[in-house]
Amino acid sequence: MIRRARGSGEALKDFPLFGVMSAAVFGFLYLPLLFVVGYSFNENRVVTVWKGFTFDWYVDVLQNDDIQRALMNSLRVATVATALSVLFALGLAIGMLRLARAGSTLAWGLIGAPLIIPEIVFAIGTLSLFVQVRFSLGVDAITLAHTAFCIPFALLPIRARLRSVDLSVYEAAADLGANEWRIFRRITLPLLVPGIVAGALLAFIISLDDFIVSYFLAGPGGTTLPVYIFGMIRNAITPGVNALSTLLLLVSVLIVSISYVISRRKR
């Protein structure tokens, strides 16, 4: 088995143009990010014309009251939406485990709809719903919408972790006299911690970076950071946009790194 796996890897490396194609893919993915980070230190207001090195744009971003309010809105929405979506996902994962195969497949198809429905369609539908029921647009409306479409993202790792658990441990606990709540608290929940953490981080990043739904549902005082960045681009593209985008990138990298460290420790 090991020889076969190594042979397939060597065969993949020997594939014609494998190195060129890999370099092209990685370049297409990461070169734009390097340009964003690099030009965030540009002294010139014209972002594409390099004039000199400076940290002034980062100082302006960190001292901007509008950006701080937008950041607080994004963090508030992402935190609440993550907590609610993980709770719903945890309950759904356990409930789907008890369903028959056909029922579980149908339930997952309905719950996972936001993964395949175009986000613009979801945003328009949610906006129409809130208008019909006269629900005020703003931070609360964005939070409810983010909770809805973050549930399947949080459910994916939790469900995968739960399906990998040996069911015999539950039978053994029941034979020893443990009730359902004790089994959940002492066995199910500790075993699901890696999946819960991964689902929470995934939901948090999805909510924090969302633009389309937030743009449609942002009312007075409900501007999130991605919506604010879009407004900055519409006015003029300056290195301040690059600086703010770089900070968002650093947050995303930090969250992914934390997730990696936690997953390594759980092994």
Output the pTM of the full model: 0.77
Residue 53, helix vs strand vs coil: strand
Q: How wide is the angle at C-alpha 199 spanned by C-alphas 158 and 262, nearest 5°?
A: 100
CA distance 151 to 92: 9
Eight-state DSSP code of residue 266: H
CA distance 6 to 174: 44
Give the chain's end-to-end CA distance (angstroms, integer): 23
Q: List alpha helices for 98-238, DSSP H.
A: 101-111, 113-116, 119-132, 139-163, 168-175, 180-183, 189-209, 212-217, 225-235
Residue 167, helix vs strand vs coil: coil
**What domains, with CATH codes, occur in the chain?**
58-266 (1.10.3720.10)
Question: In the numeric block, which tokens belong to residue 202?
Answer: 């995934």
pLDDT tens-place values along the chain, 267 residues long: 434 445 455 555 666 677 788 788 888 888 888 888 888 888 887 777 778 888 888 888 888 888 888 889 999 999 999 999 999 998 888 877 766 565 667 777 777 777 788 889 989 999 999 999 989 888 999 999 999 989 988 888 888 877 776 666 666 766 666 666 777 777 777 778 888 888 898 899 889 888 899 999 988 888 898 888 888 777 777 788 888 888 888 887 887 777 667 656 555
Give the bridge partners for 53, in sequence order: 42
